[in-house]
């Protein structure tokens, strides 16, 4: 793992450099995106670079990590809505090349179709990740087998609690989600995990220096041949 400690502003720009490098090399790259507050600065930087004509997403295909079960794409807390508003609407991406798991059609057929769509595009070139306070990546909660592909999950109490800040009441937070599995994530040719702030410090230390264990899903990145972990000073304080 390549661990990089820097300010959140510099992380956004250094991670954007990785996008620029991939897009220069492969304009039709397959990119995996993530939601949460963590990637917002990076997304703003990518939008700025599109506006400055430094990069283009015209030929890019995207796959998102996850989606809540039961939320309409128009729901303002759905991950579809998040991506549209924080990135996709502001870049030159072809909407037909955007893939986000459906939170409404969640049968095995749809889950398998998501994996098949990734494979049909030749796999993901670069997958962005945030990290949950319990070490989840996507919505792969502790205990998820490393071999899992795209699947439906029950969210843990701690994740529901952490994500309730975005909903009017905790009761409104969906209890289930659809997520790429750990294996889906690990199949990506390059991984970029960003961790910001104090609340991620303990889990970042376990991810980087702890044993590789299904109890800390992000620890699996230690086994990836091309994984970057970007942490700000607060998130890196126990490294």
So which residues are the catalytic ones? 66, 134, 136, 141
Q: Residues 74, 79, 85, 91: is their CA dihedral positive or negative?
A: negative
Of the pair 34, 50, the CB lying nearest ligand GLP is at: 34
Minimum gap (Å) between residue 190 Cβ and ligand GLP: 17
Query: Cα separation of 238 and 220, whole Å?
Result: 19
CA separation, residue 84 to residues 90, 98, 164, 191 (Å): 8, 10, 21, 22
Parallel, antiparallel or unpaired: strands 61-64 and 98-99: parallel
Of the pair 59, 234, the CB lying nearest ligand GLP is at: 234
Q: In what order do the strands lie in the sheet with 190-195?
A: 2-5, 227-231, 190-195, 126-129, 30-33, 61-64, 98-99
Of the pair 7, 37, the CB lying nearest ligand GLP is at: 37
Minimum gap (Å) between residue 65 Cβ and ligand GLP: 6
Residues that bind ligand GLP (CB under 6 A): 34-38, 65-66, 130-132, 138-139, 159, 163
Minimum gap (Å) between residue 218 Cβ and ligand GLP: 9
User: What are φ and ψ of residue 198, in 5° steps?
Assistant: -50, -40
Of the pair 159, 207, the CB lying nearest ligand GLP is at: 159
Of the pair 58, 77, the CB lying nearest ligand GLP is at: 77
Minimum gap (Å) between residue 27 Cβ and ligand GLP: 27
Residues 6+ apart with CB under 8 A from 150: 101, 111, 112, 114, 115, 178, 179, 180, 181, 184
Minimum gap (Å) between residue 116 Cβ and ligand GLP: 22
Query: Cα separation of 171 and 228, whole Å?
Result: 35
Element (H, E) at 109: helix 108-120
């Amino acid at each position: 793992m390549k661990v990089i400690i820097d300010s959140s502003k510099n992380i956004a720009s250094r991670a954007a450099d990785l996008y620029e490098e991939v897009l220069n090399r492969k304009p039709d790259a397959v990119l995996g995106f993530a939601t949460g507050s963590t990637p917002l600065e990076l997304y703003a930087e990518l939008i700025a670079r599109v506006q400055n004509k430094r990069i283009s997403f015209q030929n890019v295909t995207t796959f998102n990590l996850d989606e809540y079960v039961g939320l309409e794409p128009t729901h303002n807390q759905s991950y579809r809505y998040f991506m549209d508003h924080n990135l996709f609407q502001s870049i030159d991406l072809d909407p037909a090349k955007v893939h986000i798991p459906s939170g409404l059609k969640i049968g095995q057929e749809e889950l398998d179709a998501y994996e098949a769509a990734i494979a049909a595009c030749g796999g993901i070139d670069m997958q962005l990740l945030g990290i949950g306070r319990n070490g989840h990546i996507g919505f792969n909660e502790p205990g998820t087998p490393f071999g899992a592909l795209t699947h439906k999950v029950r969210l843990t109490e701690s994740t529901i609690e952490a994500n309730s800040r975005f909903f009017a009441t905790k009761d409104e937070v969906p209890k289930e989600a659809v997520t790429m599995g750990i294996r889906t994530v690990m199949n990506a040719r390059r991984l970029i995990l960003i961790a910001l702030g104090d609340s991620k410090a303990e889990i970042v230390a376990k991810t980087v220096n702890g044993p590789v264990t299904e109890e800390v899903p992000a620890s699996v990145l230690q086994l990836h041949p091309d994984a970057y972990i970007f942490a700000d000073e607060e998130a890196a304080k126990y490294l």
